[in-house]
Amino acid sequence: MKKVIYRLTILFLLVIICIILLSSVLLVGGYVYVVREGIAGELTEIKVNKGSSAKDVATLLKSKGLIPHELFLLAYIKIMGGDKNIKYGVYAIPKGYSPRQIYELLLKGPIRPIYEYKITVPEGLTNKQISELTLYPEQFLQLVNSTEYAKEKNIPGPTVEGFLMPGTYLFENIPDAKALADVMIGQFEKEWQKLITEIGYELSNEEKYQKVIIASLVEEEAKVDEERPLIAQVIYNRLKKNMPLQIDATLQYATQKYGILLTNTDKEVDSPYNTYKYKGLPPTPISNPGIPSLRSALFPEVGEYLYFVSNADGKTHTFSKDINTHTDAVIQYRKTIKKKQDNNTETFKNQ
């Protein structure tokens, strides 16, 4: 009986020793796996949402094949102080990284935040047209068309029209109308300062406003960047000669007839924006111009052009220095358009 008890005791001790040894091997192996220097492989982007726990992050990493199991990473995060220092956002994690390396990347922070709101504003839109792209058209339009807001932004006009910089804007949280307008005007000022640095001297607030008006005219008339400095040249030359600008875009702004053929009756509209009827610049910008048009207003191409007319391609223009050459260009344009219309009519009849 004593021999049996002795043998059982020895066996029990051997089992305990084996368990301890196995546990030690597992612990050492686990530790080595956790802290090892992994070899960076292909980058995988993960999105850690706001309020994610350590378990949520570990589960996400496993689902992306970045770790074989959540256990080791969760244990390491617990040892290092928990998940309170992990910021939400988008991370790029290399495959092959150890849990330690992954945790260190998480502590460094995301490569970019998660954006809840995105808005893209094309060049050449009016305040009203931009407002229609926002989540709150009425509030936005009321703000950007208010004199008080223009004064707040040190803009010497009745509204901030012309100073809402086109582009794509990303927000981590959905902005209100003022936050969105503030960012757009702030971006305008950043781009303006870059252009002013190229000039080498500052402009007065009134001179700046005049340049923005001219840029808005260029924006509405030009279809290709190469012609923007030439259109600016025509505007400056006509202003110098005290000639009416005769720009259709200003009349469209006055009548709000966008995409509609203007008539001779429209050209008689009594409005300070009717540059067929009144000389000089319109009283305010007629749209919100982009950087190429602002650049053209500040750096017009030097020359003697006084006229331009659209070509039949709908994109480019023919520029002229005198009325006779311009008249010929207009006649050629009308002939080409009529020929296209006749061809389209003939094609329709044959169908």
Inter-residue contact 286 to 216 (CB < 8 Å): yes
User: Does 161 lie in the same domain as 72?
Assistant: no
Low-confidence residues in the chain, pLDDT < 70: 1-38, 82-83, 340-351
Inter-residue contact 45 to 90 (CB < 8 Å): yes
Q: What is the pLDDT of residue 117?
A: 92
Q: What is the pLDDT of residue 146?
A: 97
Q: What is the pLDDT of residue 24?
A: 42
Taking only the tens place, the pLDDT of each residue in 180-237 is 999 999 999 999 999 999 988 889 999 999 999 999 999 999 999 999 999 999 999 9
229 domain residue, yes or no: yes
The total of other beta-carbon atoms located within 10 Å of residue 65's CB is 9
Residues 6 or more apart whose CB falls under 8 angstroms from that of 157 comprise 150, 209, 283, 284, 285
User: Does 57 lie in the same domain as 132?
Assistant: no
User: Does 219 lie in the same domain as 269?
Assistant: yes
Q: What is the pLDDT of residue 43?
A: 86
CATH code of 99's domain: 3.30.1490.480
User: Does 232 lie in the same domain as 300?
Assistant: yes
Query: 97 lies in which domain range?
Result: 43-108
User: Does 217 lie in the same domain as 91?
Assistant: no
Single-letter code of the amino acid located at 6: Y
Predicted TM-score (pTM) of the model is 0.78
Closest CA to 243 of 234, 251, 253, 252: 234
User: Does 252 lie in the same domain as 155?
Assistant: yes
User: Does 66 lie in the same domain as 129?
Assistant: no
User: Does 129 lie in the same domain as 254?
Assistant: yes
Position of tokens 């910008």?
285
User: What's the structural domain count of the chain?
Assistant: 2
CA distance 143 to 147: 9
User: Does 286 lie in the same domain as 163?
Assistant: yes
